[in-house]
Each structure stands twice: as C-alpha cells, then as structure tokens.
Amino acid sequence: MPFREVNSRVVEAVIAPGQKMFSQRGAMLAYRGEVSFTPNVQGGQGGVMSMIGRRVANEATPLMTVEGDGTVMFGHGGHHIQVIQLSGDTLYVEADRLLAFDGTLTQGTMFMGSQGGVMGMVRGQVTGQGLFTTTLKGHGAVAVMAHGGVIELPVTPGRAVHVDPQAYVAHHGDVRNKLSTALGWRDMVGRGSGEAFQLELSGSGAVYVQASEEKL
Amino acid sequence: MATFRLQGSKVLAVDMTGDTVKAKNGSMVAYDGQMAFKKMTGGGEGLRGMVTRRLTGEQMTVMEVKGQGTCWFADRASEISLVHLRGETLYVESSNLLCTDAGLRTGTTFTGLRGASQGNGLFTTTVEGSGQAAIMSDGPAVVLRVTPQYPLSVDPGAYIAHQGDLRQDFQSGVTFRTFLGEGGGEAFQIRFEGDGLVYVQPSERNTVGGDV
C-alpha cells in the first residue's frame, strides 16, 4: 500500500530504493528524504512505440518519474483524490485524471472503438474525452483526481450501472461500457431532461463517479 | 415512498420502487435498474405556476425521475442536506433545491426586501407537504433553531432555506458611516422570529449587502 491519504486532497507515497513511481508533472507538494524527479519525455513507460501511441491518442499528459528513498506528498488543483488498489485487473481512466501510480503497473492506451464499435467513438466525442483512454494493469495502487468527492459503485452481472458521462471518473474490472442514448423528440425541441446520454457499464467490477458534472 | 440517503456529503442516493421524485435538471450522476427522465415545464406547477415563475424570476428547471432501483444525484460538488417535512412548508431558493419527493408541492412566494438584498430577486420557492427534500449549500449547512426567546439574524448571502412558523424581517444597519465608506461590511441582515429552523451555509454569495 504505497499511498496514505493525508486528507481528501493530499496523498503521501513512500518511495523505497529501487522502486519507481510515476506522477503527473508538477503534482509534488512536498517531500522528505532523498527523492529525485525526472521529467518523462515518453510520458510514461513502454518505450518509444507506446509514446507514439499516446501522442497520436492525445493521451500524453506529461508525467515524471519519482525515485529515491523517502516520502512524497502529491496533490493537484485542489481536486479530490481517490486511491484505487489494483490486484491484477485493469483500470480505465482518462490520462488527465491520473495523479500518481505505482511504477510496477503497466500503462497502455485503449481505442474506444474497440469497445462498443461506432458508439464507442461517439461516446468519446459526446463526453469530450476523445477516442482513446489510458489503461493501467497489474498489482499496485493508483491515485486519481476528481471534482468533488468520489463514490464507488459496484457493477455486478445482472445489475448494470448507468453513469452521466460528465460524472464518470474511471472503472476497473471485467466491465463493458457502451453509450446509451434516450434521445426523444423532447430533446429535439429543447425540452429534454438534460439526461440524454448515459454510459452503461455491465459485467463485474466497479465504476467511480464524481459528485459533480464538471470536467477537471 | 422513495428513500433519500446521503452517500458522503455531496452525493444523494434515492432508492425507488416504481415511484417518482422531482430533481434539478441534469443532476443525475449515475443509476442502476430502470429509470426514466422527463423534463417538467416550469418547475412542475402547471401552466399557472410556469407563468408565475417566469414573472417572478424564480426559474427552476425540474425533471421527473421515475423508476425502480437507485439513482444518484449531485451538482457541482455542492454539500447536500436532507430535510424532512411533516405537513410543513420549506422556503428555499430555487438554485439551492436539488431533489424532492414527488408528493411535495412546489410554489413561489413573495419575500419582500430580503430577496433584493440577496441578489435573488423578490421571490423564493416553497416546498409543501409531507416527505423528503434535499437542499444544496456551498460548504456544509448549519441548522439553527429559532425560538420565541431566541431570534436569529442571518447574513442574506449565507441564508439558504428555512422551515417552520417564522416571521422574517429585513434589517439594515446603513448609517451615514456606510456612505462615507466606513461601514462594518455587514449592513444588511435578515431577522427571523418565531419557532422554526434556519439553514445557513459557511460561505457568502455576492450580494449588494456585502459591498456596503
């Protein structure tokens, strides 16, 4: 458990020699001990190919590598921070919401169209998230940012969860997501309820939802 | 009847079994089960209510949520408080109202000078009947009890709602000093007398009163 929640907006990570962490560039608030921060040109790990992948996918939030022996406090923009523990499963999250994560996790990029086909791509456009999302896989902890607090909703077979695309933060587990629309004639004439688009998550895992409909 | 519960301080979870609630337009963040969302014209008070709302500026866009399952509501990370009404009336600014039981009636009422000093207009929204309502505040709301022996004065910018048998009075401490720019910065207050509860937020809206 490398993250300790100092309060709802600050987390502290223990950095041990030989271990690596990645964090969003400029997210360090304070540190103790001997710690070095190296800007990461590749924007994460996975080599040059992965870098090109992220550039093309516009998921290239600048990251830095944190190494050494000590403790580091992270926080950014006064946003709430949620620590998510991964045990072999995959976390799907927007790159700009990633505050810091364990260096042991494998970072990748996923094309939205591969889940839900054309609707997956429409989803990216509707939510303003683009066509790609970042994935983290393995055993370790991730700190993600959200506006307002975060609630974790379990997704179980037979009990799908629908989420407002603007309030969606991240999800993990064996979860399929698709954009569902309830566009009726009311929306066309401007009398809609404001809830025309939802993300439907089904399978088994969990989805993280923020208490706000504002983007970061 | 729909059950209202808070999940943290900023998310409202409503458990429904085929019943209906009224909520601020677009405030749903997630749901499971089956839900239908329908916009109601003019705050759900029919045509007359809509005309009144237009005229009074107490505009409110409300949707009707009907379903089976749990629906989660939140708005701009505002703090949420639950209010139980037992045949009483809750007075609340329409911008602070998140969700109500469908069984509660909403309306509009005249507030007098208070509203003008608050920058909210001369009218406020009323919620009447028996059931639950969820109100929003900037920071956790404080509930203050008013009894005949203990009247209460509130900064108009920090006031969010009140319930019970209360009279409200507009107080102004404007003196010649205020005009000289030597005022205390607290020139206006609302004074509540009677028996009831007043909800106050730990933050101040921008009001005319804040500048004098």
User: pLDDT band at residue A3, thresholds of 50, 70 and 90?
Assistant: very high
User: pLDDT band at residue A214, thresholds of 50, 70 and 90?
Assistant: confident
User: In angstroms, rounded to a whole number, what is the distance separating the alpha carbons of residues B4 and B83?
Assistant: 10
CB contact under 8 Å between B29 and A193, yes or no, is no
Most confident of A25-34, B106-115, B172-181: A25-34
Q: Over the stretch A72-122, which tens digit does the pLDDT of each residue have? A: 999 998 899 999 999 998 999 888 888 999 999 988 877 765 555 555 556
Structure confidence at residue A25 (pLDDT): 85
Evaluate if residue B121 carries a pLDDT over 60.
Answer: no
Q: Can you tell me the mean pLDDT for B148-175?
A: 84
ipTM over 0.85: no
DSSP E strands in B97-187: the ranges are 97-101, 105-110, 123-137, 142-146, 152-154, 159-172
Contacts of residue A92, defined as CB under 8 A and 6 or more positions apart, other chains included, come to: A110, A133, A134, A135, A170, A171, A172, A177
Q: Chain A contact for B68, CB < 8 A?
A: no
User: pLDDT band at residue A13, thresholds of 50, 70 and 90?
Assistant: very high
Q: Can you tell me the mean pLDDT for B8-27?
A: 93
Most confident of A163-167, A211-215, B97-101, B168-172: B97-101
Does residue B206 belong to any structural domain of this protein?
no
CATH topology of domain A3-149: Double-stranded beta-helix (3.60.160)
Q: Can you tell me the mean pLDDT for A127-133?
A: 64
Q: Could you tell me the two tokens for B30?
A: 């997630």
Residue A196 distance to chain B (closest CA, Å)? 9
User: In angstroms, rounded to a whole number, what is the distance separating the alpha carbons of residues A151 and A174?
Assistant: 19
User: pLDDT band at residue B189, thresholds of 50, 70 and 90?
Assistant: confident
Of A149 and B60, the structure prediction assigns the larger pLDDT to A149
Does residue B62 belong to any structural domain of this protein?
yes
- How many folded domains does chain B comprise? 1
Are B176 and B206 in contact by the 8 Å Cβ rule? The answer is: no
Look up tokens 């001369």; give the residue.
B122
Q: Which residues of A touch B64 (CB under 8 A)?
A: 193
Are B163 and B201 in contact by the 8 Å Cβ rule? The answer is: no
Q: Chain B contact for A214, CB < 8 A?
A: yes
User: pLDDT band at residue B108, thresholds of 50, 70 and 90?
Assistant: confident
Rounded percentage of chain B residues whose pLDDT exceeds 90:
46
User: In angstroms, rounded to a whole number, what is the distance separating the alpha carbons of residues A94 and A136?
Assistant: 11
**CB pairs below 8 Å between A and B: how many?**
87
Structure confidence at residue B149 (pLDDT): 93
Of B120 and A22, the structure prediction assigns the larger pLDDT to A22
Structure confidence at residue B180 (pLDDT): 64
Q: Chain A contact for B10, CB < 8 A?
A: yes
Structure confidence at residue A121 (pLDDT): 59
Domain containing B22 equals 3-200
Structure confidence at residue A145 (pLDDT): 93
Structure confidence at residue B211 (pLDDT): 54
Q: Could you tell me the two tokens for A78?
A: 């006064």
Tell me, what amino acid is at B13?
A: A
CB contact under 8 Å between B32 and A193, yes or no, is no
Of B121 and B37, the structure prediction assigns the larger pLDDT to B37
Does residue B208 belong to any structural domain of this protein?
no
Are B113 and B188 in contact by the 8 Å Cβ rule? The answer is: no
Structure confidence at residue A112 (pLDDT): 62
Structure confidence at residue A198 (pLDDT): 83
Evaluate if residue B182 carries a pLDDT over 90.
Answer: no
Does residue B205 belong to any structural domain of this protein?
no
Q: Can you tell me the mean pLDDT for B39-58?
A: 68
User: pLDDT band at residue A129, thresholds of 50, 70 and 90?
Assistant: low
Does residue B211 belong to any structural domain of this protein?
no
User: In angstroms, rounded to a whole number, what is the distance separating the alpha carbons of residues A82 and A151?
Assistant: 9
Q: Which residues of B touch A212 (CB under 8 A)?
A: 10, 74-77
Q: Chain B contact for A162, CB < 8 A?
A: yes
Most confident of A6-20, A33-47, B50-64, B156-170: A6-20
How do the domains of chain A map onto residue ranges? 3-149
Structure confidence at residue A96 (pLDDT): 83
Q: Over the stretch A39-54, which tens digit does the pLDDT of each residue have? A: 876 555 555 555 555 6
Of A38 and A184, the structure prediction assigns the larger pLDDT to A38
CB contact under 8 Å between A194 and B7, yes or no, is no
Q: Over the stretch A146-187, which tens digit does the pLDDT of each residue have? A: 998 899 999 999 889 999 888 889 999 888 887 777 666 666
Structure confidence at residue B178 (pLDDT): 62
Structure confidence at residue A140 (pLDDT): 93
